[in-house]
Amino acid sequence: MSELRHAIAVVALLAATVAGCDTGSTGPAVSTVSPVASPEAGETPAPGDHRLTTSWNGKNRSFVVHAPPSYDGATPLPLVVTMHFFPGDAAGIATTTGMNAKADREGFLVLYPEGFAGGVNALSCCGSEDDVGLIKTLVARMVERWHADPKAIFATGISNGGDMAYRLAVEMPGVFAAIAPVSGGFSGGRASRADFRPTQPVSVITFVGGKDRHAAAFESGLTAWQERLSCTPAPAAGPRLPNGGTRSVAACADGSELVVYRLPQMGHSWPGAQQGTLADPDAGVNATDLIWEFFRTHRR
């Protein structure tokens, strides 16, 4: 299949269904808004940072696209959807993760969706907007307008954004090749239902701090993920991590992989981050580097 046909197929897939917001109901609400956003005036794909808006369910929603210096508008590049904490915004998560500098070195696109009133409607927090539908729209736009590679679309985020990565893995089947929740969990809301699991393979790399007040909930969520996807833990391997950290790997029945970094001395943070309110430069590992290496080797 040609690259153009890949892009068209993904746009069609993303347009097929729009998931609703988590209001405690057992099924998604259906959006009446078209999931393919119209190009905004002044949107010209090019290297650098682009702050844009789109109308979604009667509100103007903002997002930022970062394209590396190598971007030429023709060569398909991987896309990393990077989601902020609550309350937060694109600038805050870009600073914390250093994802723009990583994109510039490695040659990928970054999409920073911004939540309404500082948060995205994930699994247990925050708000009631149709953020799954919005992100479907924006990813389709990135494939169509920015020439993102539909076989290399990934999601990461911290806290509220990490929770959202899990929700997207389930509610956007066939789109994300892998996700990387950082200090985020598969728990609360929809995740409490036994049938809430990916229907197509999505590999996961995640980071859990032992001093995080949500650590127990994160561990329960990981147990549920492994049980629902029939993941079999592999023997421990690899070098010893600093500060007592461990790395576990599990192979899941659908062909996906689950990698968990447990960092007993870390709190609710992004390990290895040098700046930002949730930075932990002394966590012993660099999440941004490990996430990209995982994404790079886990295309669809």
Residue pLDDT, tens place only, 200-219: 999 999 999 999 999 999 99
What is the per-residue burial (b if ≥16 Cβ within 10 Å, else e) of 270-281? bbbbeebebbbe
**Maximum separation of any 2 CA atoms in the chain, in Å:** 53
Task: Name, in order, each residue with C-beta under 8 angstroms of 195's C-beta and a sequence gap of 6 or more.
Answer: none
The per-residue pLDDT for 237 is 64
Residue pLDDT, tens place only, 237-275: 667 899 999 999 999 999 999 999 999 999 999 999 999
Walk me through the domains of the chain, giving residue ranges and CATH numbers. Answer: 3-17+43-296 (3.40.50.1820)
- Is 259 in contact with 179 (CB distance < 8 Å)? no
Higher pLDDT residue, 228 or 30? 228
Cis peptide bond prior to 125, omega within 30° of 0: no
What is the per-residue burial (b if ≥16 Cβ within 10 Å, else e) of 36-51? ebeeeeebebeeeebe
Task: Name, in order, each residue with C-beta under 8 angstroms of 204's C-beta and a sequence gap of 6 or more.
Answer: 169, 178, 179, 180, 181, 225, 256, 257, 258, 259
The per-residue pLDDT for 240 is 82
Type of residue found at 69: P
The per-residue pLDDT for 42 is 61
- Is 198 in contact with 287 (CB distance < 8 Å)? no
pTM of the complete model: 0.85
| pLDDT at 31 exceeding the cut of 50 | no
Residue pLDDT, tens place only, 67-105: 999 999 999 999 999 999 999 999 999 999 999 999 999
Rounded (5°) CA angle 15-291-279: 110
Type of residue found at 183: S
Type of residue found at 33: V
| pLDDT at 28 exceeding the cut of 50 | no
SS3 251: strand
| pLDDT at 34 exceeding the cut of 60 | no
Q: Six-digit token pair at 102?
A: 């990583």
| pLDDT at 9 exceeding the cut of 60 | no
Element (H, E) at 109: strand 109-113
| pLDDT at 49 exceeding the cut of 80 | yes
Grade residue 24 by pLDDT with cuts at 50, 70 and 90. Answer: very low
